């Protein structure tokens, strides 16, 4: 018996988001759970590689990929990385975990999971019953 693997078709994702979403990892889910995402490159693997869009760590902030989470296929590119205050980042990370888990478990389809990030604060309030910090 083979293990079930849910695969995102890159071609299927692109028309939904007019090129704003380019899945670099075809496998987003493995056995009903989000697949582990590794950086698209590291300096050890590729000399001159720039991770997090070249943003240096900054006290009180987290480097965040957006508008969509990497676990739903967001491209790991400089145009999608920004600084986010730590309290907001923790709240958004909670929503990202919910969205990715729900997609991989089949409770949400990809477009539903991504729509949560059109206004992530409103989605957070609706899902968790409290405002993000």
Confidence of residue 118 (pLDDT cuts 50, 70, 90): very high
Taking 80 as the threshold, does the pLDDT of residue 7 lie above it? no
Q: What is the mean pLDDT of residues 19-41?
A: 60
Q: What is the pLDDT of residues 65-95, one digit of tens each?
A: 888 998 898 877 788 888 999 999 999 999 9
* Residue spans per domain, the chain: 10-128
Taking 60 as the threshold, does the pLDDT of residue 6 lie above it? no
57 secondary structure, DSSP code: P
Check: CB of residue 132 under 8 Å from CB of residue 119: no
pLDDT value, residue 61:
93
pTM of the full structure: 0.71
CB atoms inside a 10 Å sphere around CB 79? 8
CA distance 93 to 64: 9
72 SS3 class: helix
CA distance 76 to 22: 9
Q: What is the mean pLDDT of residues 101-115?
A: 92
Confidence of residue 30 (pLDDT cuts 50, 70, 90): confident
């Amino acid at each position: 018996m083979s293990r079930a693997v849910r695969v995102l078709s890159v071609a299927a994702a692109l028309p939904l988001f007019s090129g704003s979403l380019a899945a670099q990892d075809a496998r987003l889910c493995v056995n009903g759970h989000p697949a582990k995402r590794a950086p698209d490159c590291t300096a050890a693997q590729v000399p001159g590689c720039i991770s997090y869009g070249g943003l240096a760590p900054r006290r009180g902030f987290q480097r965040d990929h957006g508008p969509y989470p990497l676990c739903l296929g967001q491209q790991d590119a400089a145009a999608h990385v920004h600084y986010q205050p730590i309290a907001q980042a923790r709240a958004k990370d909670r929503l990202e975990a919910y969205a990715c888990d729900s997609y991989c478990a089949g409770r949400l389809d990809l477009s539903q999971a991504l729509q949560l990030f059109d206004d992530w604060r409103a989605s957070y309030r609706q899902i968790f019953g409290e405002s993000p910090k």
